[in-house]
Amino acid sequence: MKTSTKLIFQAIELKVNKLLAENKQLLHELEELKKSESILKSEIQQQKNTIETLQTQNKISKLAEMLSSTKEDKKVLKQKLNTYVKQIDECIRLLSE
């Protein structure tokens, strides 16, 4: 009976050691995955920043393109701006009363 118990104990001990080794390996894999996740999140943030910068540059380019149009377009734009300035001045005057 003692030999049988000893064999069972050894089998259990082997299984426990195997589970401990597997646990250690899984913890290592988890750490590696966390590092990868962190790197990917950083890359995503950099790409978002790049997208924002490019969108801003695109808006500026479109505005510059619009402003550097023909003389006639510039004249119309200037008239619109003058009209807006007059309207704003009138609003300020009315608010001041």
The two structure tokens encoding residue 67: 């402003």
**For residues 21-41, average pLDDT:** 97
Grade residue 12 by pLDDT with cuts at 50, 70 and 90: very high
**Which residue in the block uniquely carries the two structure tokens 């049988």?**
4
**Whole-number pLDDT of residue 64:** 66
Confirm whether 78 is domain-assigned.
no
Confirm whether 97 is domain-assigned.
no
Is 80 exceeded by the pLDDT of residue 74? no
Q: Which residue has the higher pLDDT, 64 or 39?
A: 39
Confirm whether 7 is domain-assigned.
yes
Q: Judge residue 31's burial from the number of C-beta atoms within 10 Å of its C-beta, 0-12 exposed, 13-18 middle, 19 or more buried.
A: exposed
How many domains are contained in the chain?
1
**Whole-number pLDDT of residue 95:** 77
Flag the least confident range among 1-5, 52-56, 61-65, 77-81.
61-65
16 lies in which domain range? 2-68
Please tell me the distance from the alpha carbon of residue 26 to that of residue 29, in angstroms, as a whole number. 5
**Whole-number pLDDT of residue 67:** 66
